[in-house]
Each structure stands twice: as C-alpha cells, then as structure tokens.
Amino acid sequence: MSEQRVADPSRRKLLSRLAFATLMAGFVADRSVEAGNHTRAGAKIEYPPCDEKLKAEIDAVLARTEAIWNAQEWWRLPTEIWDREDPTPMYVAEELYDVMIGWDVLDRYIFPPKKGLDAFRWGYSKLWVKELAPGVALALYDHWFEIKIRAPGPIGVPRHGFDRVLSIYNKRADGWRQSLYAQCPLGPDTYVRAMAEKLVQPDWDEFYDDVKTRDIQDPRLQNK
C-alpha cells in the first residue's frame, strides 16, 4: 500500500507552519541521540523477518478491512472482521479516554450514522506479524485515514491522520478474526515532526542529490 500524503497546497502551508516550531525543537534532541539506539520520527527501519504464510493470511484480512471501510459498508466489520466468538473484544481508539471492551460498547461504537460520519477512507502498510500461540497472531502495521464529519463549519472539513496499530487475531473455522484493535499514536511532539516529514515532496531525494553536486560559493564570503 502506498503512503498517503497531504496534497492540498493550502493544507500543506497550514500544517507546515504548525509543525515548524516543534520540528526545530526536535532537531536539537536528534543531535544528542546516540546513533543506532533511536530513530527520528520519519526514519525508515526494517522489521525482522516474519512468517510469510501467516503474514499473507493476515494481510488478506486487512485488505478486506480496507475494502469494507472504503466502500462505506461499516456494518460488515463486526460480523466479517471481528471475532464474535470472543466475549470480550477490545478496541483502543485514539480519540477516547476509555478502552472499549465487550460487544455492548463495541457494537455501539461501530455505528457511524449515529456519529454523523459523512465519509471515511482507511489504508495500511508496513505489516509485520508474530504468532503468539497456536491459533493466535499479533499484527503490527502503519495505517492512515481520511475522515469527514457531517457538520457545518470547520468540524466538517476533511481531516487526515496516521497511527501505528497493534491487532490480535484468533484462528476460527472461517479464518482469522480480529479480537483486539489498538491504535498506538505517536506523542504530540513526535507526531507533529512526523507530519512535517510527510509534507516533503516525493521528488526531494532527486532535488537533494542535484544540490549536492553543485559547487556553491557565496561571493560575500570570498574576501573573508
């Protein structure tokens, strides 16, 4: 899956201004981080190898999840994606203080018309899986979303977000079913820095390579 980027120039300008101060503060912190022990918000690291067969099976569930959301057919999620045999499913939503546990609260949450949801788009990437026990698998992946609330004014403007996610799946007779969905957002400072990095145009590397080949001499410094 390709990573989603902010394309609207006006949104890019606004987000850039909001991110600038935090980005500069983070630069100082980055200079003091020992190489190899930590990475910056946008640094790309590779996960260790995982079971490719299990990964393909979980990837199929996530692809179906993506298709359901993007078709706006959210009513299919509790019966086609979630594990109805588990009496205590768990959903850790980034926008809620409390963790949702159990079908009574989860079924009410997955009911977008009551929340005035106008449209929702969801995608994922960078999947990694781990077998926790026979028939139990953990999935780690990045996800992005775009959401529009059915309301006038600023609250109705489409918004974009991104998170890391941890999910747990149970193997049932009809395939893998989701038992836990936990969004793991970055801290506020790190999130803003990551957002600023996502605003960089896709052709930056090409531009940067070209700059590095130039012999740039400031004429004001020639007599210094």
The contacts of residue 156 (CB under 8 Å, 6+ apart) are: 118, 148, 149, 150
- The fold for domain 44-185 equals Nuclear Transport Factor 2; Chain: A, (3.10.450)
Q: What is the pTM of this model?
A: 0.70
Least confident span in 33-37, 128-132, 162-166, 202-206: 33-37
Cα–Cα distance measured from residue 78 to residue 86, given in angstroms and rounded to the nearest whole number = 12
Across 66-75, 86-95, 204-213, least confident range: 204-213
pLDDT at 32 over 50: no
From 3, 13, 26, select the one nearest 202 (Cα to Cα): 3
- Is the confidence at residue 120, as pLDDT, over 60? yes
Domain ranges within the chain, ordered by starting residue: 1-41+188-204, 44-185
